[in-house]
């Protein structure tokens, strides 16, 4: 937990960011197995901070976004990752001990199947749920909010989520739809009215499931914290990123209306889409601030989806996507946080759009997938840290020599004069150990400034 100093509200964004970094980089109170591990921790944290500050670090930091590959390397299935925390821990340690990346980048593959089973989660399918044990979890796009429900959402997003979305997204939470407004608790004679629905069997069942899921989530948090804590203490690998949120358009487009739904809405009810994404700005910002603060980490993970090249015109990107996304970025940066954007797909036509109206300098990180990195450096280099772009196809099918050549090219162009971190373009699910070694070794040797 990051504890804000008393004068927090008087600090500038830069001062807040420095305070958050200082707290994250401090080794005081963190257990380390050896003085070496402690100095490695400081060195690595400084390395990524230099990149954010658009300076030259001692060498290019290595920050791959590790997905299911660690499980394959450790000989366990995607099912094991979600259901067997001991197996998960052994495989996660084996991967990090073998490849020694600079950071423990939040493993998107590790999620608690038990929590989803208890709640009857509908939005995803996962191994051991309705997918084979050998397949990673995947999203199922359905209209969890119907086309004519925008007004309800805009009027009160939290209430819509609790009473309408949750019963649709979690089959065990049907009773949430019967929860009354909490304003009913205003005076003694009215307060009992609030409690009556809580006594009804569907609400009781849902609350029971909710509490069970809470205990299962705690078990998972403990297991994951222990697994990362060991690696941090033994090898000095800091964990990244700390918080999470999403671009408002993606909130609606990914798991509320779905791609097809929101894209038709852009033609049929554009004003509602814009009102909804605007309504989400303070909510998305607050989520990022709270989660990062809780984890004492200056970084906020933001996976970007529906704004990629081809998903809409630049004109629509300026109209529907960028204004509210930019507002979230600015809100996070004002609170001293560093948005860690995972820019999936290509962002080639968006680079210029963002650069001409960019958020404050030296305060954001952009991990690109299929974006031209020379162009990314040109448009972003003087105001934002960039990362990524080692292609998943190359890691899966290329030779170690191919990978080394590609990484050298990235360091020469994107890494020129600092401000770059070496990472995969997409989440790392499939590769060979030889190719991954080639990527990391080249980064560690050729990436020295």
Partner 1 sequence: MSQELIDAITEMREEDVVAITNQLLDEGVAPTDILMACKQAMDVIGKRFEEGDAFIPELILAGEMMTSVTDILKPRMAEESTSDKLGKIVIGTVQGDIHDIAKDIVAFMLDLNGFDVTDLGVDVPPEKFVETVQDTGATIVGLSGFLTLAFDPMKDTVAAFKAAGLDDVKIMIGGGQIDENIRQYTGANAYGRDAMAAVDLAKSWV
Q: Does 259 bind partner 1 (CB under 8 A)?
A: yes
In terms of CB distance, is 176 or 325 closer to partner 1?
Answer: 325
Q: Does 311 bind partner 1 (CB under 8 A)?
A: yes
What is the 8-class DSSP label of residue 217?
H
Taking the complex as a whole, the smallest distance from the CB of residue 375 to partner 1 amounts, in Å, to 16
Residues 164-203 that bind partner 1 (CB under 8 A): none
CA trace torsion 411, 412, 413, 418 (10° rounding): 60
Taking the complex as a whole, the smallest distance from the CB of residue 357 to partner 1 amounts, in Å, to 21
Nearest to 288 by CA among 331, 345, 238, 239: 331
Per-residue string for binding with partner 1, 111-130, x by CB under 8 A? --------------x-----
Contacts of 361 (CB under 8 A, 6+ apart): 54, 382, 383, 384
b/e per residue 270-301 (b: at least 16 CB within 10 A): eebbbebbebbbebbbebbbebbbebebbbbb
Taking the complex as a whole, the smallest distance from the CB of residue 179 to partner 1 amounts, in Å, to 32
In terms of CB distance, is 91 or 109 closer to partner 1?
Answer: 109
Taking the complex as a whole, the smallest distance from the CB of residue 311 to partner 1 amounts, in Å, to 5
* Contact indicator for 381, 402 with CB cutoff of 8 Å: no
Please give the structure tokens belonging to residue 375. 């162009």
In terms of CB distance, is 319 or 408 closer to partner 1?
Answer: 319
Binding residue for partner 1 (CB under 8 A) from 345, 381, 388, 415?
Answer: 345
Q: Residue 349 burial by CB count (10 A; 0-12/13-18/19+): exposed, middle or buried?
A: middle
Taking the complex as a whole, the smallest distance from the CB of residue 125 to partner 1 amounts, in Å, to 6
Taking the complex as a whole, the smallest distance from the CB of residue 2 to partner 1 amounts, in Å, to 35
Contacts of 311 (CB under 8 A, 6+ apart): 305, 345
Q: Does 401 bind partner 1 (CB under 8 A)?
A: no
Angstrom distance (rounded) from CA 5 to CA 293: 13
Q: Does 313 bind partner 1 (CB under 8 A)?
A: yes
Residues 230-249 that bind partner 1 (CB under 8 A): none
Please give the structure tokens belonging to residue 97. 């001990």
Pairing of strands 138-139, 124-125: antiparallel
Taking the complex as a whole, the smallest distance from the CB of residue 59 to partner 1 amounts, in Å, to 28
What is the 8-class DSSP label of residue 130?
T
Contacts of 335 (CB under 8 A, 6+ apart): 13, 16, 285, 289
* Contact indicator for 439, 390 with CB cutoff of 8 Å: yes
Q: Checking phi first, is residue 394 left (phi over 0); if not, alpha (psi -120 to 50) or beta?
A: alpha
Q: Does 42 bind partner 1 (CB under 8 A)?
A: no
Binding residue for partner 1 (CB under 8 A) from 62, 302, 312, 351?
Answer: 312
Angstrom distance (rounded) from CA 177 to CA 165: 9
Q: Does 267 bind partner 1 (CB under 8 A)?
A: yes
In terms of CB distance, is 135 or 274 closer to partner 1?
Answer: 135
Binding residue for partner 1 (CB under 8 A) from 30, 430, 437, 444?
Answer: 430
In terms of CB distance, is 112 or 345 closer to partner 1?
Answer: 345
Taking the complex as a whole, the smallest distance from the CB of residue 81 to partner 1 amounts, in Å, to 14
Which of the ranges 186-194, 278-286, 412-420, 424-432 carries the binding residues for partner 1, by CB under 8 A?
424-432
In terms of CB distance, is 218 or 264 closer to partner 1?
Answer: 264
Residues linked to residue 448 through DSSP beta bridges, in sequence order:
59
# chain residues binding partner 1, by CB under 8 A:
35
In terms of CB distance, is 90 or 135 closer to partner 1?
Answer: 135
Q: Does 146 bind partner 1 (CB under 8 A)?
A: no
**What is the 3 state secondary structure string of 289-343?**
HHHHHHCCCCEEEEEECCCCCCCCCHHHHHHHHHHHHHHHHHHHHHCCCEEEEEE
Please give the structure tokens belonging to residue 132. 């084979």
Per-residue string for binding with partner 1, 62-81, x by CB under 8 A? ------x-------------
Residues 381-400 that bind partner 1 (CB under 8 A): 391-394, 396-398
- Point out which residues bind partner 1 (CB under 8 A): 68, 125, 131-132, 134-136, 138, 140-141, 259-260, 263-264, 266-268, 310-313, 316, 344-345, 349, 391-394, 396-398, 426, 429-430
């Amino acid at each position: 937990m990051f504890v804000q100093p008393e004068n927090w509200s008087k600090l500038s964004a830069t001062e807040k960011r420095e305070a958050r970094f200082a707290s994250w980089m401090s080794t005081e109170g963190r257990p380390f197995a050896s003085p070496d591990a402690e100095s490695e921790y400081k060195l690595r944290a400084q390395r990524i901070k230099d990149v954010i500050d658009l300076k030259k670090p001692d060498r290019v930091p290595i920050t791959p976004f590790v997905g299911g590959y660690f499980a394959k390397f450790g000989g366990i299935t995607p099912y094991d990752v979600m259901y067997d925390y001991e197996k998960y821990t052994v495989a996660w340690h084996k991967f990090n001990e073998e490849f020694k990346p600079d950071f423990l980048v939040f493993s998107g593959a590790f999620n608690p199947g038990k929590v989803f089973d208890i709640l009857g989660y509908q939005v995803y399918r996962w191994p051991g749920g309705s997918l084979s044990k050998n397949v990673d979890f995947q999203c199922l796009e359905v209209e969890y909010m119907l086309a004519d429900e925008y007004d309800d959402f805009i009027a009160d997003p939290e209430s819509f989520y609790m009473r309408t979305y949750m019963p649709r997204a979690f089959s065990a939470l049907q009773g949430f739809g019967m929860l009354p407004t909490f304003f009913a608790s205003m005076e003694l004679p009215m307060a009992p009215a609030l409690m009556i629905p809580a006594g009804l069997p569907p609400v009781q069942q849902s609350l029971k499931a909710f509490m069970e899921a809470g205990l299962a989530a705690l078990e998972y948090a403990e297991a994951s914290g222990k697994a990362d804590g060991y690696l941090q203490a033994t090898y000095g690998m800091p964990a990244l990123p700390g918080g999470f949120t999403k671009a408002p358009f993606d909130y609606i487009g990914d798991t509320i209306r779905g791609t097809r739904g929101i894209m038709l809405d852009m033609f049929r009810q554009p004003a509602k889409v814009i009102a909804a994404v605007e309504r989400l700005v303070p909510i998305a910002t607050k989520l990022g601030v709270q989660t990062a603060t809780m984890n004492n980490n200056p970084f906020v993970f933001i996976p970007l989806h529906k704004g990629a090249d081809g998903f809409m015109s630049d004109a629509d990107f300026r109209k529907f996507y960028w204004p509210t996304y930019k507002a979230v970025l600015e809100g996070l940066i004002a609170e001293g946080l560093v948005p860690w954007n995972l820019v999936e797909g290509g962002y080639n036509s968006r680079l210029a759009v963002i650069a001409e109206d960019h958020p404050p300098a030296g305060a954001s990180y952009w991990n690109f997938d299929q974006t031209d990195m020379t162009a990314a450096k040109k448009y972003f280099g003087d105001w934002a840290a960039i990362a990524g772009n080692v292609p998943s196809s190359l890691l899966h099918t290329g030779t170690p020599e191919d990978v080394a050549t590609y990484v050298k090219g990235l360091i020469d162009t994107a890494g020129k004069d600092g401000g770059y971190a070496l990472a995969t373009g997409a989440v790392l699910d499939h590769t060979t150990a030889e190719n991954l070694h080639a990527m990391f070794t080249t980064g560690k040797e050729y990436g020295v400034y």
